[in-house]
Structure 1
Amino acid sequence: MQRKACAPGIAVLLAAVLAGCTGGSADGGPPDGSNADDTGTASPAAEPGRYRTLPDPCAEVGESTLDELLPGIRQISDEKQRETAYEGEPTTTFDTDRKVGCRWKVDSAAATDHLLINFERVVSYDNAVSDDSQAEQLFAEQEASAHLPVPTATETAATAGAPASGSPAPPGGSPSPSGSSPSGSSPSGSSSSGSSPSGSSSPSAAPSVTPTELQPRVLEDLGDEAFLDDGLSSSGSTAEQRTVTVAFRTSNVIVTIEYAEQPTTVGVVPDSKEMQDRAQKLASQLADSLGE
Structure 2
Amino acid sequence: MQRTARTRLAGAAMAFAVAGGLTACTGGSGGDETGGTSGDATAAAEPAPPGRYRTLPEPCGAVSRDTLEQMLPGAAAKAEQEGDEGGASATPSPLEGEAALTYDTDRRVGCTWQSTTSLGSRQLNVDFERIVSYDSEVSDDEQAELLFERRAEKAGVGPGEEPSRTPEPDAGTETDAQGEGDAPDGGSGGGPDAMAGAARDGGRAAASPGERSETASPDSEDTPEDDGGSGDDKAGEPELGSPSPEPSLPPRRLGDIGDAAFLDDRLRTSADGRSAHRDVVLLFRTSNVLVTVEYSQSIADGRRTPESAELQQYARDLAQQLAEQFTDG
Distance 1:201 1:160, change over 3 A: closer
SS across alignment from 2:284: strand
1:244 to 277, 280, 288: 280
- Where do residues 105-144 of structure 1 align in structure 2 (5 Å cutoff)? 105-144=114-153
Partner of 1:91: 100
Output the amino acid matched with 1:139.
F
SS across alignment from 2:153: helix
Distance 1:85 1:125, change over 3 A: same
Distance 1:45 1:241, change over 3 A: same
Is this contact kept in 2: 1:197–1:275, CA < 8 A? no
Distance 1:164 1:121, change over 3 A: closer
Partner of 1:267: 303
- Where do residues 1-292 of structure 1 align in structure 2 (5 Å cutoff)? 33-35=32-34, 37-38=37-38, 39-41=40-42, 42-76=44-78, 77-79=81-83, 84-148=93-157, 158-160=183-185, 169=206, 176-177=208-209, 180-185=211-216, 199-200=239-240, 203-204=243-244, 209-210=247-248, 214-237=249-272, 238-291=274-327, 292=329
Distance 1:271 1:263, change over 3 A: same
> 1:217, CA displacement in angstroms?
1.1
Question: What whole-Å deviation, never above 9, does each CA across 1:171-211 have from its counterpart, x for those lacking one?
Answer: xxxxx445x4532349xxxxxxxxx976546613xx7644x
Output the amino acid matched with 1:47.
P
Is this contact kept in 2: 1:89–1:102, CA < 8 A? yes
Output the amino acid matched with 1:50.
R
> 1:227, CA displacement in angstroms?
0.6
Q: TM-score, normalised by structure 1?
A: 0.72
> 1:48, CA displacement in angstroms?
0.6
Distance 1:83 1:67, change over 3 A: farther
Distance 1:43 1:162, change over 3 A: closer
Is this contact kept in 2: 1:245–1:256, CA < 8 A? yes
Is this contact kept in 1: 2:109–2:129, CA < 8 A? yes
Identity of aligned residues (%): 40
**Aligned mates of 1:114, 1:168 — CA distance in 2:** 28
> 1:261, CA displacement in angstroms?
0.6
Q: TM-score, normalised by structure 2?
A: 0.64
**Aligned mates of 1:200, 1:99 — CA distance in 2:** 34
The answer for unaligned runs of 5 or more in structure 1 is: 1-23, 171-175, 187-195
| RMSD value, Cα | 3.5
> 1:273, CA displacement in angstroms?
1.4
**Aligned mates of 1:105, 1:64 — CA distance in 2:** 15
Output the amino acid matched with 1:33.
D
Distance 1:34 1:54, change over 3 A: same
Question: What whole-Å deviation, never above 9, does each CA across 1:127-180 have from its counterpart, x for those lacking one?
Answer: 0000000000000011111124879xxx9x73358998987757xxxxx445x4
**Aligned mates of 1:286, 1:106 — CA distance in 2:** 21
Distance 1:201 1:56, change over 3 A: closer
Distance 1:164 1:182, change over 3 A: closer
Is this contact kept in 2: 1:124–1:130, CA < 8 A? yes
Is this contact kept in 1: 2:76–2:95, CA < 8 A? no
Distance 1:280 1:163, change over 3 A: closer
Partner of 1:7: none
Is this contact kept in 1: 2:269–2:276, CA < 8 A? yes
**Aligned mates of 1:168, 1:270 — CA distance in 2:** 16
Question: What whole-Å deviation, never above 9, does each CA across 1:35-91 have from its counterpart, x for those lacking one?
Answer: 363445522100111111111111101111100110120231222669722111111
Question: What whole-Å deviation, never above 9, does each CA across 1:3-33 have from its counterpart, x for those lacking one?
Answer: xxxxxxxxxxxxxxxxxxxxx99xxxx8871
Task: Name whichever of 159-168 and 218-227 sits farther off.
Answer: 159-168
Decide which structure has greater helix share. 2
Aligned residues: 243
**Aligned mates of 1:228, 1:265 — CA distance in 2:** 26
Distance 1:183 1:286, change over 3 A: same
Is this contact kept in 2: 1:75–1:108, CA < 8 A? no
